[in-house]
Amino acid sequence: MSGAGELVSVFVRIELGQEMRLGNEDLLLSQIGAIAARGFIPGQRLRADGTVVDTNAANAGGHTLEAALGVAANSAADADFLGWELKALTVSKLDAPAKAKMVTVITPEPKGGLYAEQGVVDFIRRYGYADRRGRPDRLNVGGQYRAGVPVESTGLTLRLTGYQQRKGTSRGEITDIAAGAIELVDTKGSVAAAWPYIDLIGHWQRKHASAAYIPMLTQVEPNGRRFFRYSETAWLGRRTEFLKFIDALAWGEVVYDPGIKLERASTDSPKPKRRSQFRIRFGDLSVLYSHFASRRAEWSG
């Protein structure tokens, strides 16, 4: 492969030709326009074998968008469609997403700390708290974790090891790429969960080099069936690097916002649910990209 390279942390990103990148953007938008013209679409998921099945799951809106684009539901680390990572955003107004709307940008499982070494059940039993809605025999690990700010409900604090902020600027630097990590630590300094930088960098670059955020309305029928309608306008983020993500964590713009729970917690057959997610306000998304702007699809039918 030939082409000019740009140094990104310890990796080199090879830029695609301008005409190829813009061609893919135009094709993506034409497809989004066609989907928007369909109005409300019943929740569905495209299987790897090409069959479409109904779904009413919590992530049905994202799966329905992927199915409409011919993308099979999967958890692959690569981008979804023509090099674009797709994000469906639940909104109350299609063309005016609220700036305070929280958007999930990445959902990696911890690869270090007690969580990885002893398992999610032990992690929840040690740091979880009784369900606040009174659901019996259930423990939760929730809250929003910002760098350096303790969360009282769990006693955990998020910290960035191998990273140093620079005075007078929002930019920092990764000082130890091999041993550095996003960590949750308890009051004794023990690492409860960790996400090593070395595991996250490639994933971030593959999934987020180009990202499309597409507003979505949800309609629930009397029988509980969910339908989804998508905007003709997409917010497109291009050119990112892992350091932008870490900087946003350091400044509290990106937060760790888990939804982890353990049902039947006191029994010999507990039922855990894993949901580790890093989120950011819609109004702050631009800090993750060198270029972030909305573009309306041009589709003639």
Q: CA–CA separation, 58 vs 108, rounded Å?
A: 18
Give the per-residue pLDDT at 122: 97
Q: What is the maximal distance between C-alpha atoms in the chain?
A: 62
Alpha-carbon distance of 262 to 131, in angstroms, equals 10
For position 202, what pLDDT does the model report? Answer: 86
pLDDT, averaged per 10 consecutive residues of the chain (301 residues), comes to 35 36 76 93 91 88 91 65 88 85 92 97 97 95 97 98 86 93 97 96 84 93 93 93 95 96 96 96 95 82 56
Task: Report pLDDT for 98.
Answer: 86
Q: What is the pTM of this model?
A: 0.83
Q: What was the pLDDT predicted at 12?
A: 31
CA gap 131, 206 in Å, rounded: 37
